[in-house]
């Protein structure tokens, strides 16, 4: 390895320009590894717009193909109409799958969607000397909610502290601070606000000592039961009744699809002790997250959820429940040029009027797209076409 006088991450200081710094970093890496990085180096992103905001030690960008599924008819409180949903993926057959599901949902009158809950959580962890002090701390926090709210909201124009949920284990206390975050997913926003709250608590309740600003009861980027039950980000439900004729045209009945759902998504998932009582929420969530600049690691909890079905006289009732969909239309990667265009395609880029409505509309569209993807995969399994589709669309010429 070469010894350098200037560290790789200090190149911006030397060159005064992130694009030039990235080029120099690539040249260095090419020299020490012998690997050509010409494709990673080719990007439309002005790296000066992402350094200090989205990335460090930047060397370029990777590209992922993006397709669309739609038109998808969504009938939500914020999203109302037909949408083309951008999906960035390298999994052949995925876009086709969501596209066919969208067609069946739209032909059946669309997906009705409701956002049931909205709140981003950060849970600082405190140590106090004893259990007695832990109970006292919780009582103190409850009694001082309005003051803590004021402290939290002094750090942001858009974040509003809605609730403080508390958990005690021995002499440890987790305070799960729940905020509404406007159009932002809100992780930076609520982390900054939570730090101010934690500081205020320690100054005014000196027996409390902050152990970690994130105490893992938030819960961020880990599969968990807390978000499943209490919600985090947007808690969303979408439903549709798929016309019987559509299924008959495919040679199946509502019962066939319902039976696959119960046995696969409910019994199979119970046997596996899965957090996903669904077929492939993660496929649709990940593809939309990548296309629109969301934090992709949050696919973990954003794709937990349940698909439920009923075989009815007139067709198949299907719904999807997403308890912890963490999304935003401002902040994070949403301002990057291609990601912003993808959000514009859905009519949700940037701040809403009033703030918050763009993120709510976006959450409704995602839930409807998840419904379409879920419906289609259940149909595909009922018709036993999973392997053949992936052979045809997922492996190319051999
Ligand atoms: C692939 C299909 C849709 C073909 O389905 P088909 O019925 O043979 O296709 P078709 O040519 O008759 O067209 C029907 C409709 O499908 C769509 N469609 C069809 N082809 C395309 C295409 N090239 N590009 C875009 N859209 C396409 C399109 O909507 C079209 O309608 P049209 O617009 O023509 O009126 C079907 O066989 C299918 O959905 N198979 C299942 C594939 C799937 O769902 N994969 C999901 C990923 S699996 C996974 O990752 C998760 C898993 C499975 O491991 C989780 C678990 O454990 O369950
Ligand atoms: N810090 C952490 O612990 C973690 C950070 N992340 C990262 O955090 C980022 C996302 O954080 P997030 O807070 O969403 O985004 P950003 O911090 O990137 O941007 C959000 C800020 O945008 C401003 N804003 C402007 N218009 C609006 C509007 N209409 N609604 C809401 N806010 C608006 C607000 O400023 P103001 O508050 O000043 O009013 C808000 O705090 C991602 O990059 C993610 O990867 C992910 C996990 C953990």
Q: Which pLDDT does position 41 carry in this prediction?
A: 98
Q: Which pLDDT does position 394 carry in this prediction?
A: 77
- Measured from the alpha carbon of residue 184, the closest ligand is 2
Task: Return the residue whose CA atom lies nearest to atom 13 of ligand 1.
Answer: 100
C-beta of 189 in contact with ligand 2 (< 6 A): yes
C-beta of 293 in contact with ligand 2 (< 6 A): no
Q: Which pLDDT does position 140 carry in this prediction?
A: 98
The parts of the chain modelled with pLDDT lower than 70 are 1-3, 397-398
C-beta of 75 in contact with ligand 1 (< 6 A): no
Q: How far is CA 213 from the centre of its chain?
A: 22
C-beta of 23 in contact with ligand 2 (< 6 A): no
Q: What is the ipTM of this complex?
A: 0.87
Q: Which pLDDT does position 391 carry in this prediction?
A: 75
- Measured from the alpha carbon of residue 155, the closest ligand is 2
Phi/psi for 139 (5° steps) reads -65, -40
CA of 6 to the centre of ligand 2 (A): 32
Query: What rounded mean pLDDT belongs to the chain?
Result: 96
Residue among 166, 221, 243, 244 flagged as catalytic: 221
Q: Which pLDDT does position 392 carry in this prediction?
A: 79
C-beta of 376 in contact with ligand 1 (< 6 A): yes
Q: Are 302 and 324 in contact (CB under 8 A)?
A: yes
pTM of the model: 0.94
C-beta of 280 in contact with ligand 1 (< 6 A): yes
Q: Report the distance separating Cα 331 and Cα 190, nearest Å.
A: 13
Task: Return the residue whose CA atom lies nearest to atom 36 of ligand 2.
Answer: 156
Q: Which pLDDT does position 390 carry in this prediction?
A: 72
The domain locations on the chain are: 12-63, 66-118+233-393, 124-212
Residue among 118, 133, 256, 295 flagged as catalytic: 295
What CA–CA distances, in Å, run from 384 to 266, 278, 316, 380?
A: 19, 18, 18, 6
295 flagged as catalytic: yes
Same CATH topology for 66-118+233-393 and 124-212: the answer is no
The top-level CATH class assigned to 124-212 is alpha beta
| Architecture of the domain spanning 66-118+233-393 | Alpha-Beta Complex (3.90)
Rg (CA), the chain: 24
Q: Which pLDDT does position 5 carry in this prediction?
A: 83
Q: How far is CA 258 from the centre of its chain?
A: 27
Condensed to tens digits (0 to 9), the pLDDT of residues 43-54 reads 999 999 999 999
The DSSP bridge partners found for residue 243 are: 315
Q: Which pLDDT does position 2 carry in this prediction?
A: 58
Q: Which pLDDT does position 3 carry in this prediction?
A: 60
221 flagged as catalytic: yes
């Amino acid at each position: 390895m070469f010894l350098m006088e200037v560290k790789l991450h200090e190149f911006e200081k030397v060159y005064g320009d992130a694009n030039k710094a990235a080029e120099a970093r690539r040249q260095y890496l090419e020299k020490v590894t012998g690997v050509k990085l010409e494709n990673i180096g080719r990007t439309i992103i002005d790296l000066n717009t992402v350094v200090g905001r989205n990335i460090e030690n930047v060397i370029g960008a990777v590209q992922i193909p993006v397709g669309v599924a739609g038109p998808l008819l969504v009938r939500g409180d914020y999203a109302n109409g037909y949408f083309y949903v951008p999906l960035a993926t390298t999994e052949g057959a995925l876009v086709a799958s969501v596209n066919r599901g969208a067609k069946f949902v739209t032909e059946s009158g669309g997906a009705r969607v409701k956002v049931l809950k909205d709140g981003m959580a950060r849970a600082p962890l405190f140590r106090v000397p004893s259990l007695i002090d832990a109970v006292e701390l919780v009582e103190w926090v409850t009694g001082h909610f309005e003051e803590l709210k004021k402290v939290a909201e002094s750090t942001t124009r858009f974040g509003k502290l809605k609730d403080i949920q508390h958990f005690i284990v021995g002499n440890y206390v987790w305070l799960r601070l729940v905020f509404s975050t406007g159009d932002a997913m809100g992780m930076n926003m609520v982390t900054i606000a939570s730090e101010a709250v934690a500081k205020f608590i320690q100054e005014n309740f000196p027996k409390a000592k902050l152990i970690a600003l994130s105490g893992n009861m938030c819960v961020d980027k880990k599969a968990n039961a807390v978000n499943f039950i209490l919600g985090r980000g947007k808690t969303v439900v979408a439903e549709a009744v798929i016309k019987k004729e559509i299924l008959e045209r495919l040679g199946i009945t509502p019962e066939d699809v319902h039976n696959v759902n119960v046995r696969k998504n409910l019994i199979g998932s119970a046997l596996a002790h899965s957090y996903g009582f669904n077929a492939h929420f993660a496929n649709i969530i990940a593809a939309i997250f990548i296309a629109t600049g969301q934090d992709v690691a949050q696919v973990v909890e954003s794709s937990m959820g349940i698909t439920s079905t009923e075989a009815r006289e007139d067709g198949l009732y299907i719904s999807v429940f997403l308890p912890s969909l963490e999304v935003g239309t401002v902040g994070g990667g949403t301002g990057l040029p291609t990601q912003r265009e993808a959000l514009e395609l859905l009519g949700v880029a940037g701040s809403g009027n009033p703030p918050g409505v763009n993120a709510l509309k976006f959450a409704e569209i995602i839930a409807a797209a998840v419904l379409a993807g879920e419906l289609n995969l259940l149909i595909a399994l009922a018709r036993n076409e999973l392997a053949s589709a992936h052979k045809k669309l997922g492996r190319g010429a051999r």
